[in-house]
Amino acid sequence: MTNLTEEEKDFFRREIFKERPQEACQDCGGIHFGICPRIRRLVLVGEGQSVGNRVEVEYWPQGQYDDSDTIYPGDVWSEEKAVE
């Protein structure tokens, strides 16, 4: 996504929220590409029936992670309301 302008990124993020709001991150509540920037440490089950399930999640404290590439539902909807 490096060749996209900020405007284009915003557009795509907004479309994602409209089309697939269920894909919002369960950890930070926003939508971003790749792994959640809020996660500091993640331990998953490595084998057995519940492989891939979370054992332990550790988050960075609020304000101590880079979420500049994350868009939150509040960003999208408040902007839209402002336009109306």
Does residue 71 bind Zn ion (CB under 5 A)? Answer: no
- In angstroms, what is the minimal distance from the CB of 32 to Zn ion? 6
- Rg over alpha carbons for the chain, rounded to the nearest Å, is 15
Among positions 12-51, residues that touch Zn ion (CB under 5 A) are 25, 27-28, 36
Which residues 6+ apart lie within 8 Å of 61 measured at CB?
none
Residue (17 or 48) nearer to Zn ion, CB: 17
Site residue total, Zn ion (CB under 5 A): 4
Which residues 6+ apart lie within 8 Å of 37 measured at CB?
28, 60, 65, 66, 67, 69, 70
Residue (48 or 61) nearer to Zn ion, CB: 61
Residues in the chain: 84
For binding to Zn ion (CB under 5 A), which residues are involved?
25, 27-28, 36
